[in-house]
Amino acid sequence: MQVMVIGLGSMGMGAALSLLRAGHEVFGVDPRSDACAQLANAGAKETGSRGLDFASRAEAVLILTVNAEQVESVLFGEEGIAGKLPPGTPVMISSTVSADDARRFGLELEHAGHIMLDAPVSGGPVKAREGAMTVMAAGREEAFARLAPVLDAVAERVFRISERIGDGAAVKVIHQLLAGVHIAAGAEAMALAARAGIPLDTMYEVVINAAGNSWMFENRMRHVVDGDYTPHSMVDIFVKDLGLVTETGRALRFPLPLASTAYTMFASASTAGYGQWDDSAVIKVFPGITLPGDEGEER
């Protein structure tokens, strides 16, 4: 297929590379010239900052932008592609957005004559590059069928949540509640270990071999032990995602005490200047401890 991938961040780039490996022709869209150049060098058919330049040739669209505002812009803004895509083009929206936004995009795409798959993803940059993401998708059978070649290329597991647009987004929001709370809890545990004078590499090894482990602890707290906060998923991503979680709770009049606390921790880390750091840098909100890599720290 000729697939347009919009948003060449860590997940979008991985998905685009996986599509190339599977034999698809890829148009890459991103405002950053270096990301476009990277994908072009990997064999993309064309890349650029404007989806309009490729919209008429796309047989499918995969959107992996940062937030709902960017989805809105690339589809329906001044240079939005919705009006230039061939009639009936399947559009897979994999950005993390609220269920309400997903439903709105679904209706607007339907009015424009296209088909939407509400399909958030998880797995991180490594899984994205391996074509092994987890997709939590909702939409009509036709959308799944038309996008099957794309899903086969980028995903190891595809969960069909329902036919109702918005349910995929809701599942991703709930998943992000767990992911954010796990990172925040891991950071709190490692901060307490630092305060108690326990070597962090020892604490880390104990936890990953005991019942308190989680995937997020094992993955993210390794960064803390190494003192390496090179961003794979940034603090500000979880400010956004946990913000969606807490907004969902308010809309449903449902208390989310752990998610609210985790949101406050990530927001505090962002305010302190760590927003563009790896999300494990949420540990920096704890005072009175010394962590690996603290010497000569710059924000």
pLDDT, one tens digit per residue, over 28-47 is 999 999 999 999 999 999 99
User: Whole-model pTM?
Assistant: 0.93
pLDDT of amino acid 42:
98
Alpha-helix runs per DSSP H in the chain: 10-21, 33-41, 68-76, 99-111, 124-129, 141-146, 148-154, 167-195, 200-208, 215-226, 235-251, 257-269
pLDDT in tens, the chain (299 residues): 999 999 999 999 999 999 999 999 999 999 999 999 999 999 999 999 999 999 999 999 999 999 999 999 999 999 999 999 999 999 999 999 999 999 999 999 999 999 999 999 999 899 999 999 999 999 999 999 999 999 999 999 999 999 999 999 999 999 999 999 999 999 999 999 999 999 999 999 999 999 999 999 999 999 999 999 999 899 999 999 999 999 999 999 999 999 999 999 999 999 999 999 999 999 999 999 999 998 755 54
Long-range contacts from 99-102, C-beta under 8 angstroms, 24+ separation: 99/166, 99/167, 99/169, 99/170, 99/173, 99/248, 100/166, 100/251, 101/68, 101/71, 101/169, 102/165, 102/166, 102/168, 102/169
- Is residue 185 within 8 Å of 192, Cβ to Cβ? no
| Residue in the structure block whose two tokens are 């794309």 | 150
Catalytic residues, by residue number, are 172
> Which 3 state secondary structure label does DSSP give 183?
helix
Question: Does domain 170-285 fall into CATH 1.20.140.10?
Answer: no
pLDDT of residue 296: 53
The C-alpha atoms of residue 83 and residue 109 are separated, in whole angstroms, by 9
Cα gap 25→236, rounded to integer Å: 32
Domain boundaries, the chain: 2-164, 170-285
End-to-end CA distance of the chain, in Å?
Answer: 43
Asked if 112 and 134 touch (Cβ cutoff 8 Å), the reply is: no
The pLDDT of residue 298 is: 53
Asked whether 29 and 52 are in contact (CB, 8 A), the reply is no
Q: How does pLDDT run across 123-159, given as a tens digit for each residue?
A: 989 999 999 999 999 999 999 999 999 999 999 999 9
From CA 75, how far away is CA 69, in angstroms rounded?
Answer: 10
* Topology alike, domains 2-164 and 170-285: no
Structure tokens at 160: 């069909």
Token output for 161: 């949540």
CA 242, chain centre distance (Å) = 12
Choosing among 3.50.50.60, 3.40.640.10, 3.20.20.70, 3.40.50.720, the CATH entry for 2-164 is 3.40.50.720
